[in-house]
């Protein structure tokens, strides 16, 4: 940074008074004295002031709004970035994985939580808390408390999709396209268990007795 000309020095002092005036809430103290620092137009700051900060004395920067630190290097975020977020530029946080929102104050679950699940931090890790009828990392899997038997698939809470040949809430009822006769029972698709003395695919035969 080179030295300032007279004109630019006046301009800078004027802008500083404006800035400080805001901070001091328009105090009646004489200008320049109330500021609490002397502006030196020949001041040198090395390393230079960043982010449009003004070098007011040797190695003293006056930072523009939103920045802080000796050389105005650091952006500040208000409210502060939460949960380990980093302030990228004034008011803009970069959040660590699992957090989101303007100030990283919200827990975010990758891919979201489905079916009414709620994203919550559990030991610092974002996790979906699922309603009782759903499970899985995103609450994407329905639960069938009755169980889905015989190769049935739980497709919605309490609802099984059954393979061919099976029916019922838990796919527990076999279907025999031809009925089992003489008190026989359909025990698996198209298979009858017959009551003695009957036999045959549909229990239609009576065993010969000796
Ligand atoms: C600021 O530093 C320069 C050299 O870098 C020096 O000549 C000057 O006197 C210093 N100003 C003050 C107010 O200390």
- Residue-range domain boundaries for the chain: 6-74, 144-173, 177-206
Distance 22 CA to ligand 1 centre (A): 29
Cα–Cα distance between 112 and 192 in angstroms, integer?
A: 49
List residues bridging with 106 in a β-sheet: 100
CATH class in words for 177-206: mainly beta
Reported as a single tens digit per residue, the pLDDT across 59-69 is 999 999 999 99
Mean pLDDT over 32-39 rounds to 54
Q: Residue 6 pLDDT more than 80? A: no
Identify the band that residue 125 occupies on the pLDDT scale cut at 50, 70 and 90.
confident
Distance 51 CA to ligand 1 centre (A): 23
Among positive and negative, which fits the CA dihedral 3, 7, 11, 16?
positive
CA-nearest residue for atom 1, ligand 1, is 58
pLDDT score of 121: 83
Identify the band that residue 2 occupies on the pLDDT scale cut at 50, 70 and 90.
very low
Identify the band that residue 36 occupies on the pLDDT scale cut at 50, 70 and 90.
low
Cβ–ligand 1 contact at 80 (below 6 Å): no
Atom of ligand 1 nearest to the CA of 40: 13
Peptide bond into 47 cis (omega under 30): yes
Cβ–ligand 1 contact at 3 (below 6 Å): no
Distance 13 CA to ligand 1 centre (A): 19
Distances 118 to 82, 114, 125, 134, 156 between C-alpha atoms, Å? 20, 8, 13, 12, 19
Cα–Cα distance between 57 and 21 in angstroms, integer?
A: 19
Cβ–ligand 1 contact at 58 (below 6 Å): yes
Greatest mean pLDDT among 3-12, 32-41, 119-128, 158-167 lies in: 158-167
Cβ–ligand 1 contact at 44 (below 6 Å): yes
CATH class in words for 144-173: mainly beta
Distance 33 CA to ligand 1 centre (A): 21
Domains 144-173 and 177-206 fall in the same CATH topology: yes
Tokens of residue 190, six digits: 């198209």
Distance 11 CA to ligand 1 centre (A): 21
Cβ–ligand 1 contact at 40 (below 6 Å): yes
Reported as a single tens digit per residue, the pLDDT across 130-168 is 999 999 999 999 999 999 999 999 999 999 999 999 999
Mutation choice for ligand 1 from 4, 42, 55, 59, CB with most ligand atoms inside 8 A:
42
Q: Which residue has the higher pLDDT, 104 or 39?
A: 104
């Amino acid at each position: 940074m080179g030295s300032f000309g007279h004109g630019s020095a006046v301009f800078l002092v004027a802008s500083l008074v404006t800035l400080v005036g805001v901070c001091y809430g328009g105090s009646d103290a004489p200008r320049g004295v109330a500021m609490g620092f002397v502006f030196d137009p020949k001041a040198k700051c090395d390393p230079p002031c960043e982010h449009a900060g003004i070098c007011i004395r040797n190695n003293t920067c006056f930072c523009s709004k939103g920045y802080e630190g000796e050389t105005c290097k650091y952006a500040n975020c208000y409210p502060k970035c939460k949960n380990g977020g980093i302030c990228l530029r004034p008011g803009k946080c970069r959040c660590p994985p699992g957090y989101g929102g303007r100030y990283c104050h919200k827990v975010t679950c990758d891919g979201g939580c489905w079916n009414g699940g709620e994203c919550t931090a559990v030991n610092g890790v974002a996790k979906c808390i699922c309603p009782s009828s759903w499970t899985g990392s995103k609450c994407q899997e329905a639960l069938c408390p009755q169980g889905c038997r015989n190769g049935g698939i739980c497709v919605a809470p309490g609802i099984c999709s059954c393979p061919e040949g099976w029916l019922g809430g838990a796919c527990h009822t076999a279907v025999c396209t031809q009925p089992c006769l003489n008190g026989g029972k359909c025990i698996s698709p198209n298979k009858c268990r017959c009551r003695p003395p009957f036999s045959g695919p549909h229990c239609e035969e009576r065993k010969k007795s000796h």
